[in-house]
């Protein structure tokens, strides 16, 4: 499974958050696209519309398990996708901002 470290991500890299709604509402990375894994197949078109045509899809969840499943599925569909190792837990631990929908500081649930 292709993976990327949180520290290797740059501002502006495309990020797909596959955590559930309550996790997202507690806090997420600014600019991430949110499609919960439980709705992923039904909402797949949202990803293909939003993802960069020639760029990579960095898939993130809380710790890396769910995002690994989605990243593997995307690779099978011919999409350049990688799992963000350690997920939002590592994202927050490395000091990356975690915000709520209204832009206030959030937390990883």
CA distance 77 to 71: 10
Which residues have CB under 8 Å from 47's CB, separation 6+?
16, 33, 35, 57, 74
Catalytic residue among 37, 61, 74, 108: 61
Neighbours of 12 (CB within 10 A): 9
- Is residue 14 among the annotated active site residues? no
Structure tokens at 56: 């990579």
CA distance 3 to 23: 22
Residues carrying an active site annotation: 61
């Amino acid at each position: 499974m292709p993976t990327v470290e949180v520290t290797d991500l740059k501002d502006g890299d495309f990020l797909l958050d596959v955590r559930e709604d309550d996790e997202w509402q507690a806090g997420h990375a600014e600019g991430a696209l949110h499609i919960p894994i439980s709705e992923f197949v039904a909402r797949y078109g949202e990803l293909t519309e939003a993802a960069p045509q020639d760029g990579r899809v960095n898939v993130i969840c809380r710790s890396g398990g769910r995002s690994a499943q989605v990243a593997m599925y995307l690779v099978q569909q011919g999409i350049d996708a990688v799992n963000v190792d350690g997920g939002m837990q590592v994202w927050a631990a490395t000091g990356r901002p975690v915000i709520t929908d209204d832009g206030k500081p959030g937390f990883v649930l």
